């Protein structure tokens, strides 16, 4: 009588093919399907890499051991995985080891429950990934000179996992090979380019602890191209500008004092996917916790953290798929409350420092812009004084100043109220031949003449005594109220005060721009509004200067000859605007808004 195929099930000694025993109370297929699909390749390969690392760990080989991954695709730029091989030179397994350890699903034989420092816990990950995505799955293992090769697959009709040593498999072949295990999988769909595939594998949190210590090499074989070896490396974000170290609270402390710190680091640039907290149980990464989850302010994108909690090794706080923490678990709550407190503290501190730096940068940038405006104002005042001296022939002593746009005296002399009549020389002011009197760069000369109506003191006759101060006006100066050279504290003028302050104009020749006024502050802080800031400051200053010039000129013209004040003011103001925009030496309105 011919035996039915099912008679061989569970009979390891009689035949090469049998059903894999599954000690699991829930529906097998539903749990296996969680591993199905092209998006599971990276996660599945990661499971096999950690299995190899666990095997090395059981041998007390915690670093510098080799794990090889080979990916074959028949097309040059193909996505399909025609063959996948993962191999190591760790413990290896005999046939009995294969049956009692590898072919057990949802039962851990990794040694984790016995306190060994391994990551394997649920006994299904890599195998479930293999049988749900590949048409052919083989495992070959060498143990003490004996090699066994078995195949395994998912039987979708009978809803069972089957295995066997027939076909290309074999039992206990004598070989001269070192111990180790090789997984060989064939024919699977894949959704992404294989180079990108390897990059994503390199970023997988599940294997971070492995590639930090062991040598994991991935080799691509695409079409007729030669092998492309790529070493997996995890680079912890470096070149941070500041670091905070917080001691773990008593409920989270580890036995090893060296691992009892929560570290947060701040970087000058956003970290992208690396703005996380690498939470480890002391063996492997348990979760990449996004910092923005605990504080979503912009500076969360500039932080990276590390934290080790040994209690997570045997805790229900770790999700079954090892992709994060279980919400609501007491240990999870304790960890996240501690993290949230420290993250908020750090971001608060960073914000305060960055605001101060931003304020200093704004002051520096503003001062550079104001310098160009001051340069223009010196020209304007020189032109104005020349116009006044030309119109009135004799200007008031306190109002005449001769110099170039650098503020240095270049004429033959100047009038100062500190000089007595005996020290003054008669003469008449003139513009040197060849100079354009409206250019702003001309020099005012005093031509000595006993009958001249103008007066000035010779430079050589200026007393050099250190006890006698010679007053010479240096032109108008524009400052922000938060400039270190400002005669007042910036806080003296609040946001409700005028944007421009001219109370120091007559006494010190200073025009202040109120940094606290919202009109100024808003357009000053943000780079995209810098051109608006420049425009506003210039217009405010020109209004004051035009008013100042109008007032001075009106006072010096006999009342019967005075023009309409508003008309004269408009002429002055619009002339200043025109001169500012047409001045090729001034780059005040040339903004780089990139």
* Per-residue pLDDT reduced to its tens digit, 374-421: 878 877 777 776 666 665 544 344 344 433 443 344 333 334 344 445
Find the angle CA(55)-CA(57)-CA(58) to the nearest 5 degrees. Answer: 70
Lowest mean pLDDT among 183-187, 339-343, 435-439, 485-489: 435-439
Dihedral of alpha carbons 343, 347, 353, 358, sign? positive
| Closest by Cα among 511, 516, 514, 517 to 546 | 511
Report pLDDT for 429.
60
Report pLDDT for 402.
39
Mean pLDDT of 25-46: 79
Q: Report whether pLDDT(159) > 50.
A: yes
pTM of the model: 0.53
The structure tokens listed for 523 are: 């357009």
The structure tokens listed for 498 are: 């005028």
Q: What is the pLDDT of residues 460-485, one digit of tens each?
A: 444 443 433 334 445 678 888 888 88
Report pLDDT for 270.
92
Q: Distance between CA atoms of 411 and 263, rounded to whole angstroms? A: 67
Give the residue, 524 or 138, on which the prediction is more confident.
Answer: 138
Report pLDDT for 68.
96
Report pLDDT for 453.
59
3-state secondary structure 479-535: EECCCCCCCCCHHHCCCCCCCEECCCHHHHCEEEECCCCHHHHHHHHCHHHHHHHHH
Is residue 459 within 8 Å of residue 493, measured between CB atoms?
A: no
The DSSP letter of residue 229 is: E
Report pLDDT for 322.
63
In the chain, the domains with their CATH numbers are: 5-231 (3.30.565.10), 242-326 (no CATH), 363-392+473-594 (no CATH), 402-472 (no CATH)
Report pLDDT for 411.
39
Report pLDDT for 347.
96
Report pLDDT for 39.
81
Is residue 427 within 8 Å of residue 456, measured between CB atoms?
A: yes
Q: Distance between CA atoms of 94 and 144, rounded to whole angstroms? A: 8
Is residue 185 within 8 Å of residue 129, measured between CB atoms?
A: no
Q: Report whether pLDDT(113) > 50.
A: no
Q: Distance between CA atoms of 126 and 217, rounded to whole angstroms? A: 18
Q: Report whether pLDDT(129) > 70.
A: yes
Q: Report whether pLDDT(549) > 80.
A: yes
Q: Report whether pLDDT(44) > 80.
A: yes
Report pLDDT for 244.
96
The structure tokens listed for 144 are: 């003490």
Lowest mean pLDDT among 139-153, 300-314, 425-439, 506-520: 425-439
Mean pLDDT of 77-86: 89
Report pLDDT for 146.
96
Q: What is the pLDDT of residues 195-235, one digit of tens each?
A: 888 988 988 888 888 988 899 999 999 988 889 999 998 87
Q: Tell me phi and psi for residue 431, to 5 degrees.
A: -100, 130
C-alpha distances in Å from residue 173, one per residue of 14, 149, 163, 176: 18, 9, 18, 10
3-class SS of residue 555: helix
pLDDT more than 70, % of the chain: 75
Mean pLDDT of 78-98: 92
């Amino acid at each position: 009588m011919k035996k039915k195929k099912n008679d061989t099930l569970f009979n390891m000694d009689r035949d090469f093919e049998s059903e894999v025993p599954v000690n699991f109370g829930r529906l097998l297929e539903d749990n296996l399907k969680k591993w199905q699909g092209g998006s599971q390749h990276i996660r599945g390969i990661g499971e096999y890499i950690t299995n190899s690392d666990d095997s090395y760990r059981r041998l007390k080989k915690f670093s510098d051991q080799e794990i090889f991954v080979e990916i074959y695709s028949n097309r040059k730029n193909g996505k399909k995985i025609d063959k996948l091989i993962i191999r190591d030179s760790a413990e290896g397994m005999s046939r009995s080891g294969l049956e009692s350890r590898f072919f057990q699903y949802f039962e851990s034989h990794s040694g984790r429950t016995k306190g060994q420092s391994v990551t394997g816990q649920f006994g299904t990950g890599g195998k479930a990934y293999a049988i749900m995505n590949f048409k052919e799955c083989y495992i070959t293992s060498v143990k003490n000179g004996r090699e066994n090769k078995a195949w395994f697959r998912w039987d979708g009709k009978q809803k069972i996992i089957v295995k066997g040593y027939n076909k290309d498999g074999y039992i206990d072949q004598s070989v001269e090979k070192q111990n180790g295990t090789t997984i060989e999988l064939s024919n699977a769909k894949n959704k992404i380019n294989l180079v990108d595939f390897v990059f994503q594998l390199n970023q997988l949190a599940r294997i971070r602890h492995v590639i930090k210590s062991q040598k994991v090499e991935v080799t691509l074989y695409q079409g007729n191209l030669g092998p492309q070896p790529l070493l997996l490396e995890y680079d912890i974000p470096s070149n941070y500008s500041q670091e905070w170290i917080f001691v773990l609270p008593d409920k989270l402390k580890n036995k090893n004092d060296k691992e009892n710190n929560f570290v947060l680091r701040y970087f000058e640039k956003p970290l992208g996917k690396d703005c996380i907290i690498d939470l480890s149980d002391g063996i492997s990464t348990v979760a990449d916790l996004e910092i923005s989850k605990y504080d979503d302010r912009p500076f969360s994108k500039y932080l990276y953290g590390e934290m080790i909690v040994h209690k997570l090794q045997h805790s229900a706080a770790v999700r079954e798929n090892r992709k994060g923490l279980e919400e609501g678990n007491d240990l999870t709550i304790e960890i996240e409350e501690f993290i949230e407190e420290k993250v908020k503290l750090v971001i608060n501190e960073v914000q305060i420092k960055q605001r101060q730096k931003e304020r200093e940068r704004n002051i520096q940038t503003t001062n550079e812009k104001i310098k160009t405006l001051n340069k223009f104002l010196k020209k304007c005042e020189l032109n104005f004084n020349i116009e006044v001296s030309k119109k009135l022939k004799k200007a008031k002593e306190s109002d005449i100043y001769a110099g170039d746009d650098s503020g240095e005296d270049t004429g033959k002399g100047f009038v100062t109220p500190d000089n007595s009549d005996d020290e003054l020389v008669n003469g008449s002011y003139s513009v040197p031949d060849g100079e354009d009197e409206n250019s702003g760069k001309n020099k005012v000369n005093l031509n000595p003449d006993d009958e001249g109506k103008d007066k000035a003191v010779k430079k050589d006759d200026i007393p050099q005594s250190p006890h006698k101060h010679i007053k010479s006006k240096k032109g108008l100066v524009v400052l922000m109220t938060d400039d270190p050279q400002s005669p007042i504290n910036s806080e003296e003028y609040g946001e409700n005060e005028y944007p421009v302050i001219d109370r120091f104009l007559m006494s010190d020749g200073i025009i202040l721009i109120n940094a606290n006024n919202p009109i100024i502050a808003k357009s000053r802080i943000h780079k995209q509004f810098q051109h608006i800031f420049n425009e506003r400051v210039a217009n405010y200053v020109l209004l004051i200067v035009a008013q100042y010039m109008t007032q001075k000129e009106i006072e010096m013209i006999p009342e019967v000859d005075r023009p309409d004040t508003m008309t004269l003011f408009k002429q002055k103001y619009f002339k200043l605007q025109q001169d500012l925009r047409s001045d090729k030496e001034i780059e005040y309105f040339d903004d780089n808004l990139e």
